[in-house]
Amino acid sequence: MKTISFLTVVLFLAAAGQAQPAFQERLQTIIQPAGAPPPAVSVKDSVNYLIRVEWKEPKGDPKFLEVLTTDGNFNLDTIQKTSVKINNNDVPVTLKFNGTLNALSDTKGRLQLFLGRTVPYVTSSFNNGMGASSSYSQLNVGLQSTFIVTFGKAVVIQNDENGQISVLVQRMKD
């Protein structure tokens, strides 16, 4: 019976310790041998990266977007400059760019990204007596991929009859 009570107290203290960082620090000083140096903390120099995505359509000027980030996640939701006309109404096209950048060395990194947009399309048309009207919906389209980049060197990530998409990741200097 004493063993069960002891285990209950230990489990309660462990759960309470997870909820309270100050308790964890006190517990660490109790567990750590006297005179032992504190645990080493690894400090990595943070670096900014400029991610540039450029897309070229067969009959149009190249378009691009740039995002400044560091190691980790990034997310951009925006509206494109051009819109689609449905019944003389401008329907916006949204652009979504998100992903994760992990530096592998000073010259290479792993980039996981999603680049997409919403494309409005007419779902039905009808005449309400005052003129034609349409209902529309939006379709999410895009590319999701993971690849290795060499900092400062562009890489083509998609190429087809609709155009070409390239990505350039530059490691920024101080």
**pLDDT tens profile 100-159:** 999 999 999 999 999 998 887 777 777 777 777 777 788 888 899 999 999 999 999 999
Q: Are residues 25 and 53 in the same domain?
A: no
- Residue 36 in any domain: the answer is no
pLDDT at residue number 42: 45
- Residue 38 in any domain: the answer is no
30: left (phi over 0), alpha (psi -120 to 50) or beta: alpha
- Residue 61 in any domain: the answer is yes
Residue 144: alpha-carbon gap to chain centroid:
11
Q: Which two tokens stand for residue 50?
A: 């400029």
Q: Are residues 27 and 53 in the same domain?
A: no
Going from the C-alpha of 5 to that of each of 1, 12, 31, 130, 156, the distances in angstroms are 6, 11, 22, 80, 64
Q: Are residues 127 and 79 in the same domain?
A: yes
pLDDT at residue number 11: 47
Q: Are residues 67 and 138 in the same domain?
A: yes
In terms of pLDDT, which residue wins out, 145 or 17? 145
What is the C-alpha to C-alpha distance for residues 111 and 89, in angstroms, rounded to an integer? 38
Q: Are residues 140 and 108 in the same domain?
A: yes
Q: Are residues 14 and 91 in the same domain?
A: no
pLDDT at residue 98 is higher than 60: yes
For 7, the domain range is 2-31
Instruction: State mean pLDDT over 71-78.
Output: 92
Q: Are residues 139 and 58 in the same domain?
A: yes
Mean pLDDT estimate for the chain: 78
Q: Are residues 77 and 26 in the same domain?
A: no
What is the C-alpha to C-alpha distance for residues 63 and 74, in angstroms, rounded to an integer? 20
pTM, 2 dp: 0.66
- The vertex-155 CA angle with 152 and 159, nearest 5°, equals 155
Q: Are residues 12 and 63 in the same domain?
A: no
pLDDT at residue 74 is higher than 90: yes
In terms of pLDDT, which residue wins out, 38 or 62? 62
- The vertex-161 CA angle with 79 and 58, nearest 5°, equals 60
- Residue 125 in any domain: the answer is yes
Instruction: For 131, list phi and psi in degrees, rounded to 5.
Output: 140, 175
- Residue 18 in any domain: the answer is yes
Q: How many domains does the chain have?
A: 2
- Residue 84 in any domain: the answer is yes
